[in-house]
Structure 1
């Protein structure tokens, strides 16, 4: 099982700032047959959610009596080993399918040796809540052991209470840098969702275990929709299915105009090959957009209303066989060259739209973006990514916070003095936009974003001496 970190335990005990990990899944090992009863499953799912409202503590309580922190974690491009075999046993992977050609289904990504996800925006990956939120890298390519590229997420979050069997097995990562050269298959929305009927042909994609090979190779299988159970959709069977390791991965469907949409999040199932259940992305779109602060539906509003923008254009007609190279950006796949009009009149604005617009520019050169969401007054996040960092030389530490309108968020910078965290800089205006530029000596530092009033998602850009 994944064991989620308690944020307040992290802050109160520096030796736990580095995520506790279980042994890595062995991609060569055989999948285990394990049953989890309802009570055990509920406990496990409670452990992997970050839904609990934090206890309000003062600064003195927060940093009092801390032990000496360990060395900062090593950062590299190796696959993550943060996941146990147990999560693979509960996951999903491709049966009855084939391997994917270079750049095929390029928006399907691998998460840390355990789960699969989908790039739905240049900065956003959607996957399953039961996969957890502790990911240091997201891998693009056809083989996660030799990825075409690896991108660091700014943060990953699971939907509060999200779990298999509920239709809300939702999780999302926001990337630290935009991936603008990989074509996006848009999320199925609005009137388009009516295409999901029993017997409809769909394609499942993932990196999981298979009947014809080991974990870690991107595979695809075409099968059909069986029907619905509440907010979940049942897909596959008869030997064509997902299996261990594909949890969080996508289900795609082709529309009448020849372009494709992504709609499913692989959640759970029985024996591999017998079919499984999937949460549907459009059911969680309001939460995804609230957390990321980004528009993930270029042709619709979050409620499904048709409202095409400049990005509602040029969608792929053959994303599974792109016939391109990663060095070339995988930006092929037979784009339609047309504005979409699946649910109404096409976009009438700029005749030269950019379907993958760049995000807002960073407020400082060379900054790294992080993000999160605060629940209300007294809530806080430690950054970067719930941890701290070490500067080996003197120089300027920059922090630029942008929070939601109407909120009052504050920004603090602390330095470890050998026995406790000392506050060295703060920004406490009556807004949610704060900036700190602190000229400090070498040492160990950490940032804290805190809500004095209000709630919502924020972005934080950080830069520090090497």
Structure 2
């Protein structure tokens, strides 16, 4: 049984010719695209959007119809770091003020903001950082070394809290990303009764890309220290040689809860001499503004006022985000997830279960030679491109196979696109009123991309893809 499609806003990553479109979307001197914009986007467009760039919006049925020819070979989605900021390599490899560099995928949600500040991915589409860092960011970088980033994303916009500044506990800023980052584990924001853990003497971990006592800016480092106390809406952390420094501004402070899972609570704001401790704004104090600006739920276990109200996303939080023992190509998802629904402030979620997708058949995949990918969709209209946000080239004719397994109680759909020389053309689709979809398409050589889209519901999914041999 098929169902009538809604018109959603989908951004499909194309060959290099798309870069011209992306540049135009961020260039204040370029004429705006002639696209359909809904009322929410119009409100954003009229708001305090900075030169971090405005989104290019296109309809599902007219994806990049006017693009130029693709290149001989597709680029990687993970772009290199900007050449606009130059740093040295960290020869020593150890120490922020009293701390250490992180292993691969350690504190994966800690990001670099393009040459000056640090931030935290708190939702697949949202980065929180500090108001005093400003809002002029065109790229956000993931990885352990800003100079050789594991991947980068472009913000739709970045905003600072009106009047936000160091000293008032409202050093708040936020970026909404143009593309959801679904392959980086999120450490949830400390909320509600969980904030009672913020007590003097409690151990916390600070993370950032800033200057160190024996290394340059641009290397992700961590340091474990303690809470000193409070000054109004600010929290004092560190000292005795264990501290953040210039360039760590906007970065996170993490704390471990009694159930073994971690939360993020702090935004690095200001301090004295590096090593003597500093002051931090607290994310939960600004959550209503963050959610109002992004129009997204950033607290899966609580309401914005701190009331315990767990949803299906209040589940499976990491117990070891600082030492993940994984690779970026592997999704950085090995950080010892708890595998349980959280009950830090009350009873766990008890509605319709929304666990990870059921396991594949006994042979490990639904087809021989398939490659498995995973992601999570936030709700109707949200979509992911595969493989891993990119596309692939098939040099021969043959069967393209896709197998989608979505979370229980949802309706996810599967699409296959082919680059026809001037646009991405939809060549196959599976739109049954089901959580699982299958496509088998016999196609000629060329560039192909898969799209997983939510018609209804949200949560994690898996998709297996096979291209002609």
TM range (shorter): 0.5 to 0.7
Question: Take 1:363 and 1:230, find their aligned partners in 2: how far apart are those partners?
Answer: 39
Q: Is residue 2:120 matched to residue 1:101? A: no
Question: Take 2:243 and 2:275, find their aligned partners in 1: how far apart are those partners?
Answer: 5
CA RMSD of aligned residues (A): 3.0
User: Unpaired segments of 5 or more residues in structure 2?
Assistant: 1-25, 31-46, 51-77, 88-94, 358-374, 386-420, 425-469
**Corresponding residue for residue 191 of structure 1:** 193
**Corresponding residue for residue 295 of structure 1:** 297
SS of equivalent residue, structure 1 residue 145: helix
Which of 109, 122, 125 is the matching residue for 1:123?
125
Shift of 1:50: 5.4
SS of equivalent residue, structure 1 residue 256: coil
The verdict on how the C-alpha distance between 1:332 and 1:78 changes in structure 2, with shifts beyond 3 A counting, is: closer
SS of equivalent residue, structure 1 residue 287: helix
Question: Take 1:163 and 1:81, find their aligned partners in 2: how far apart are those partners?
Answer: 29
SS of equivalent residue, structure 1 residue 266: strand
**Corresponding residue for residue 377 of structure 2:** 358
Question: Take 1:15 and 1:258, find their aligned partners in 2: how far apart are those partners?
Answer: 45
Which of 144, 148, 173 is the matching residue for 1:142?
144
SS of equivalent residue, structure 1 residue 192: helix
Q: Is residue 2:263 matched to residue 1:261? A: yes
**Corresponding residue for residue 206 of structure 1:** 208
Q: Is the 8 A contact 2:80 2:151 kept in 1?
A: no
SS of equivalent residue, structure 1 residue 117: strand
Cα deviation per residue 1:107-160 (whole Å; 9 max; x = unaligned)?
000000110000000110000011111111110000010000001111111111
**Corresponding residue for residue 306 of structure 1:** 308
**Corresponding residue for residue 233 of structure 1:** 235
Mapping of residues 325-404 of structure 1, within 5 Å: 325-353=327-355, 357-360=376-379, 362=381
The verdict on how the C-alpha distance between 1:250 and 1:15 changes in structure 2, with shifts beyond 3 A counting, is: closer
**Corresponding residue for residue 362 of structure 2:** none
Q: Is residue 2:226 matched to residue 1:224? A: yes
Shift of 1:360: 4.2
Question: Take 1:94 and 1:325, find their aligned partners in 2: how far apart are those partners?
Answer: 23
**Corresponding residue for residue 436 of structure 2:** none
SS of equivalent residue, structure 2 residue 148: coil
Question: Take 1:364 and 1:186, find their aligned partners in 2: how far apart are those partners?
Answer: 22
**TM-score in terms of structure 2 length:** 0.59
Question: Take 1:318 and 1:365, find their aligned partners in 2: how far apart are those partners?
Answer: 27
